[in-house]
Amino acid sequence: MRRKIVAGNWKMNGSRSLVKQLVSTMNSDLTGLDNGVEVVIIPPALYVSDVIETAERSIQVGVQNVACWESGAYTGEISAAMAGDLGCSYTLIGHSERRQLFGETDEQVAAKIDQAFSAGLTAILCVGETLEQRESGAAEAVVAEQIRAGLAGVADEQWQRIVVAYEPVWAIGTGKTATAEDAQAMHASIRKELAALGAPANDVSLLYGGSVKADNAAALFSQPDIDGGLIGGASLKADEFLSICRAVPREY
């Protein structure tokens, strides 16, 4: 059964006081939420413990990245096992900022997914095309290749620990959003690609990300293949993030 998920990626933003203020507001306001959405907060790794200590049970916590390796002499890296040890249940993998700013390759993405599995984490694999790729008509092919490269090694029950976030690079942090129809078309194509890889494609949650706000979330989340969102900037404001969580429809 696929889950409805709204995950907030704080990127390199926040402070201990933001954790207290935002997570406390979320704790009290989430109690009335009855649409079954799973809410995930993904703060900078240094604040994971603060979020876990402040969050009540209905909030899951994740990290924004994990190392390709299990442990060892990799100064500055954080392992998937460490994230699991702190109480995280999710990790982002292959966010476009990691791919573009830090040169993360498809091979590293696949290795990180393996590490996430070993640590019992659910991996949110981020995929998406650039504006140039969209304008040249290559968007679906680019995303399909990212899916194949990241997920070709996934088997059997491991699929339960995969979530895919479609985030067109041109929509991240820009205020531009894919139309609900374009996003739906890409999500349907991702589901086909997952099926071709042997996944139980109808059971894999697919999230949309890229300038999702309270006022566009409902249109996106009402699409049949969109199971929630990965939210950047808007996840740093409790009221906005809560409105986005509320925008997930109760039934598919």
Q: Which of 230, 238, 247, 248 forms a contact with ligand PEP (CB under 6 A)?
A: 230
Tell me whether residue 10 or residue 117 sits nearer to ligand PEP (CB atom).
10
Q: Does 167 bind ligand PEP (CB under 6 A)?
A: yes
Query: Of the residues 95, 104, 187, 240, which is catalytic?
Result: 95
Query: Of the residues 97, 167, 193, 240, which is catalytic?
Result: 167
Tell me whether residue 31 or residue 100 sits nearer to ligand PEP (CB atom).
100
In a 10 Å sphere around its CB, with 0-12 CB exposed, 13-18 middle and 19+ buried, how is residue 180 labelled?
Answer: middle
Q: Does 209 bind ligand PEP (CB under 6 A)?
A: yes
| Rounded Cα–Cα distance for residues 206 and 187 (Å) | 7
| Rounded Cα–Cα distance for residues 243 and 35 (Å) | 12
Residues β-bridged to residue 90: 62, 122
Q: Is 31 helix (H, G, I), strand (E, B) or coil?
A: coil
Closest residue to ligand PEP in the complex (CB): 232
171 touches 178 (CB < 8 A)? yes
Q: Does 228 bind ligand PEP (CB under 6 A)?
A: no
| Rounded Cα–Cα distance for residues 201 and 27 (Å) | 32
Q: Which stretch binds ligand PEP (CB under 6 A): 115-123, 131-139, 206-214, 220-228?
A: 206-214
Q: Which of 211, 217, 227, 244 forms a contact with ligand PEP (CB under 6 A)?
A: 211
Whether 95 sits among the annotated catalytic residues: the reply is yes
Q: Does 64 bind ligand PEP (CB under 6 A)?
A: no
User: What residues contact 139, with CB distance under 8 A and at least 6 apart?
Assistant: 129, 133, 168, 186
- Tell me which residues touch ligand PEP (CB under 6 A): 9, 11, 167, 172-173, 209-212, 230-234
Instruction: List, by residue number, the catalytic residues.
Output: 95, 167
